[in-house]
Homo-oligomer: A and B are copies of this chain.
Amino acid sequence: MIDALSDRPVYRQLADLLRAKIVGGEYGPGDALPSEIALMERHGLGRNTVRQAVALLREEGLVVTRQARGTFVRDALPVRRLSSDRYRRAPQRRGSGAGGTAEAIHREVPADPAVAEQLRVAAGTPLLERRALLLERGLPQQLSVSYVPLELLAGTPMADPARGPWPGGTVAALAGAGVRVTAVREVVRARMPRPEETRSLAVAVGTPMLAITRTMFAGERVVEAAVEIVVPGDRGELEYHVDVR
């Protein structure tokens, strides 16, 4: 099966072999691949070569390795779809809003230059910083850091940093402060997780991330800036409706 004289590196040939069995369904989601020792013996390869092949599949997102347990075909996780409808002011439809539990840490901070530009305020303006982690069935779902000018929240319960999560999301929270969000701009990127994100979001190495920069507007005024909302690519997808004019 594997040709040591081929131009194609041996570890790639082994990866091709295993990949074909995975996409062909011979190894289904959750199944264990043969152990490294078994692959060494079956194909007459050194262990590092086998490990290189497995590493390639891991980078492609096809398998995960678990120490002392084995190498497993990646489970198709239930993907959560985040629709642009989630910004409706009207009551959230089931399944479209925040369905899980959230942990949030609020803090009062002065605007740093980058945030100030996004919010269109002067650097140093007092802001409420909100760091939130959304959990769904115990699995971290998204991580976000966002800012609201404190002035907008003055005199409302949201101005208190000790306050917990905002039920109903940011649009509802701002509505509670008399701020009517009229539009949202999102810029979506794909990037690899930073080392600390692999921990806090509990993602396997090699899992790409959706990174969203969100800006909320009330008319011409910017009322919220989410510097980055990070969603593991194997757990979420984003849905947008665009009206063509």
Contact = CB atoms under 8 A, between A and B. Distances in A.
Contact of A186 (B60, B193, B195, B239): B239
A209 interface: yes
A191 interface: yes
A208 B182 contact: no
Interface string A78-90: 0101001001111
A119 to B, nearest CB: 18
Residue from A90, A205, A243 with most neighbouring chain B CB atoms (10 Å): A243
A75 to B, nearest CB: 15
A9 to B, nearest CB: 12
A22 to B, nearest CB: 12
A180 to B, nearest CB: 8
Contacts of A193: 60
Interface residues of A, number: 44
Given A208-B233, A233-B208, A185 B239 contact: yes
Main secondary structure of the interface of A (DSSP, over half): mixed
Q: How many copies, total?
A: 2
A191 B208 contact: yes
Contacts of A190: 190, 208-210, 233
A206 interface: yes
A241 B60 contact: no
B186 A242 contact: yes
Given A59-B59, A89-B244, A188-B188, 8 more contacts: A60-B192, A61-B191, A84-B240, A84-B242, A87-B242, A187-B237, A187-B238, A188-B239
A164 B124 CA distance: 54
Interface in A46-100: 48, 55, 59-61, 79, 81, 84, 87-90
A233 B193 CA distance: 13
A189 interface: yes
Contact of A187 (B60, B81, B88, B181): B81
Contact of A192 (B55, B206, B237): B206
Contact of A183 (B61, B194, B243): B243
Interface string A104-145: 000000000000000000000000000000000000000000
